[in-house]
A = this chain, B = another copy of it.
Amino acid sequence: MALDAQKEAEIDALRAESQETRRATVPALEALLYKPLPVLDHGFIRVIDYMGDDPGIVQAARVSYGRGTKQVSNDKALINYLMRRHHTSPFEMCEIKLHVKLPIFVARQWIRHRTANVNEYSARYSVLDREFYVPDRKFMKLMQVERQQQSNQAGLFGALDAATPEHTAQQSTTNKQGREAVLESEAAAQVLRNIKRVSESSFTAYEKLLGEDGEGGVEGFGIARELARMVLPLNTYTQWYWKIDLHNLLHFTRLRADGHAQYEIRAYADRLIEILQAWVPLTYAAFANYRKDAAVLSSNAQELLRRHLAGDTNVTFSDVGMTKREWLELVTLFPALDKTANT
């Protein structure tokens, strides 16, 4: 990611300014303000504005006249309590506004979160820059592993077949090794060349349809921007202003920093986590412990664990109505269970 000189000057000008305010202010987040934090090959996240901080959450929870409690330890205990007991509304009292540059296929996943405000750069009214995403070669292996996980779900969402999820999961485990091997060699480079080539040629077609550059010689058609854009590929970069409250940002982060999320959106979620840690450290810590890194144990799984802890190590997952897949996830969480594993 590299900005042109004018944009850099505009950002520098913003960062040089400073005003007096009576509002709650977070120095660690002020330090990040307006700076583009790079993501993927041409993307970024910029923090444009924010409202509220950790003590402000306490203040809202208590509907108080003054500022939070006097002691950080009290703030921390209350924030932990609110997070643990799903009192979400105080976390909705903080808000953040970001400028994000991201590939369109990532933007399409992102926008599924409806509880946010969005202003996207308009390809209807403006010409898009010739910028598109090409995966980094070192992630290609990782992506192959994920491909298998996803193909398990194809049946469910696309054309549900007779196979149970458990069954297809095993299949993919088997042939995963082979594919990885292939891709680590020459194939990865070929894939990247293909992506680049087709993206370049789509952009060339876009520019010809627009005919914007047609003045100097290149012939162009001059059709409407809103129409010309239809040939652009889904890895074209777009950008938007995106504003969201803290509760919903945490929820977004939990879903998108998750191992099941596509690598590209996870890269953005990881940046969001850095921003959260600078902005609301107490809340982020509570979120990590009680939500992001928490495990949801189904009623059935509790039963199995209860019997194990009480000494009944012969109980099997099917005894309590769990599927094998659920059992495997539970064993990942508590490896000691494996000693007594069973199919």
Contact A151 B125 (CB under 8 A): yes
Docked CA distance A62–B112 (Å): 17
Docked CA distance A96–B220 (Å): 44
Residue from A10, A197, A290 with most neighbouring chain B CB atoms (10 Å) = A290
Docked CA distance A99–B62 (Å): 11
Per-residue contact bits, chain A 311-336, to B (CB 8 Å; 1 contact, 0 not): 10000000001010010000001111
Nearest 3 interchain pairs by C-beta: A10-B66, A147-B224, A126-B158
A252 at the interface (CB under 8 A from B): no
A260 at the interface (CB under 8 A from B): yes
Contact B295 A297 (CB under 8 A): yes
Contact A21 B14 (CB under 8 A): no
Contact B223 A147 (CB under 8 A): yes
Contact A262 B226 (CB under 8 A): yes
Contacts of A89 in B (CB 8 A): 112, 117-119
26 contacts between A and B (CB under 8 A): A10-B66, A13-B67, A21-B23, A22-B34, A49-B52, A63-B119, A63-B241, A89-B112, A93-B243, A105-B230, A111-B111, A114-B114, A122-B158, A125-B158, A126-B157, A146-B224, A182-B222, A191-B209, A195-B231, A198-B201, A199-B231, A202-B231, A294-B298, A294-B299, A305-B305, A305-B334
Docked CA distance A232–B103 (Å): 12
Min C-beta distance of A69 to chain B, whole Å: 6
Q: Which of B63, B146, B179 contacts A121 (CB 8 A)?
A: B63
Min C-beta distance of A182 to chain B, whole Å: 7
A135 at the interface (CB under 8 A from B): yes
A2 at the interface (CB under 8 A from B): no
Q: Which of B223, B260, B297, B298 contacts A183 (CB 8 A)?
A: B223
Contact A21 B30 (CB under 8 A): yes
Min C-beta distance of A303 to chain B, whole Å: 10
A225 at the interface (CB under 8 A from B): yes
Residue from A11, A19, A52, A99 with most neighbouring chain B CB atoms (10 Å) = A19
Per-residue contact bits, chain A 119-145, to B (CB 8 Å; 1 contact, 0 not): 111101111000001010000100110
A177 at the interface (CB under 8 A from B): no
A270 at the interface (CB under 8 A from B): no
| A190 to chain B: closest residue by CB | B221
Q: Which of B11, B205, B296 contacts A294 (CB 8 A)?
A: B296
A72 at the interface (CB under 8 A from B): no
Docked CA distance A212–B28 (Å): 45
Contacts of A21 in B (CB 8 A): 18-21, 23, 25, 30
Contact A7 B65 (CB under 8 A): yes
Min C-beta distance of A36 to chain B, whole Å: 9
Contacts of A54 in B (CB 8 A): none
Contact B81 A165 (CB under 8 A): yes
A37 at the interface (CB under 8 A from B): no
A43 at the interface (CB under 8 A from B): no
A215 at the interface (CB under 8 A from B): no
Contact A191 B223 (CB under 8 A): yes
